[in-house]
Amino acid sequence: MSNNIKEIMKEGKTALGCFIGIYSPSLAEMIGHAGFDFAVIDNEHGSFSWGEVENMIRACEVAGTTPIVRIVNALPSEILKALDRGARGIHVPQINTGAEARAVVQAAKFPPLGTRGVAYSVRAASYGMNKGPSYLNQSNDDVLVCVHIETPQAVEHVDEIMESGIDLAFIGPTDLSVSAGHADNPDHPELEAMKNKVLEAGRRHGVPVGILAADRAGLDRYRAWGANYIGTNFTSLLYSSLTSVTKQ
């Protein structure tokens, strides 16, 4: 089983997904049935126990959307918990240097590529039905390692981050606008220049670049811009749908 998100990006297409921070396996299934390639179970800003993350992953699988988990920070223990539950990829927020990105890659890979601890009894290893080199190699190939670039410091170090072994660099436009001092103008030219710098670095190093799009217009804009992976947000999509009825 290979990671279809990696395949989509390799083919030069744009993978489309949806962040969800509300615990509901039914909503996760809806994301799949609606046709999203992936769902990001957002445990940075959402509030899930690890058991709930596991149920969200199950629901994504039932509905045919690839389950990715955003963890709260770059701790190896967070990465391990997400991957052992069966996440097919991780989003790691607030990565600012090449060294930080390399540490993420190390924590996500089994030896000899990294330092991820092994237990065959976990869900990711089919509770022991998939063990040994087949599981270890498959997981090392399969897992999508994504780091967020969302500060001016990260943009400054973007080349070393791209060289770290990551599979995807994801621009967090909200954090970037706030950390760069442009909370009042998310389209400020300085922010556009930073996003372009990240995209260009991705192209130079052969690393796909993703970004968050709040709505349909943002999605179209970033697809045309050349994003390889676009995450929308369940809450904003739901509100735009609800208010299209109430605010006539």
Closest CB 179 distance from ligand 3PY, rounded Å: 9
**Run of H or E residues at 66:** strand 66-70
Q: What angle do CA 46, 49, 53 make, to 5 degrees?
A: 75
For ligand 3PY, the binding residues in 117-156 under the rule CB under 6 A are 148, 150
What letter does residue 74 receive in the DSSP assignment?
Answer: -
Closest CB 186 distance from ligand 3PY, rounded Å: 9
Specify whether 45 is catalytic: yes
Helix (H, G, I), strand (E, B) or coil at 106: helix
- Contact status, residue 190 vs residue 182, Cβ threshold 8 Å: yes
Residue spans of beta strands (DSSP E) within the chain: 15-20, 38-42, 66-70, 89-92, 144-149, 168-171, 209-212, 229-233
Should residue 215 be labelled a site residue for ligand 3PY when binding is judged by CB under 6 A? Answer: no
Please provide residue 38's backbone torsions phi and psi, each rounded to the nearest 5 degrees. Answer: -145, 160
For ligand 3PY, the binding residues in 183-212 under the rule CB under 6 A are 212
Residue of the chain from 173, 202, 208, 210 that contacts ligand 3PY (CB under 6 A): 173
Span interacting with ligand 3PY, options 22-30, 170-178, 194-202, 219-227, rule CB under 6 A = 170-178
Residue of the chain from 17, 46, 89, 172 that contacts ligand 3PY (CB under 6 A): 172
Closest CB 11 distance from ligand 3PY, rounded Å: 25
- Contact status, residue 104 vs residue 93, Cβ threshold 8 Å: no
Applying CB under 6 A, the residues found at the interface with ligand 3PY are: 19, 93, 148, 150, 172-175, 212
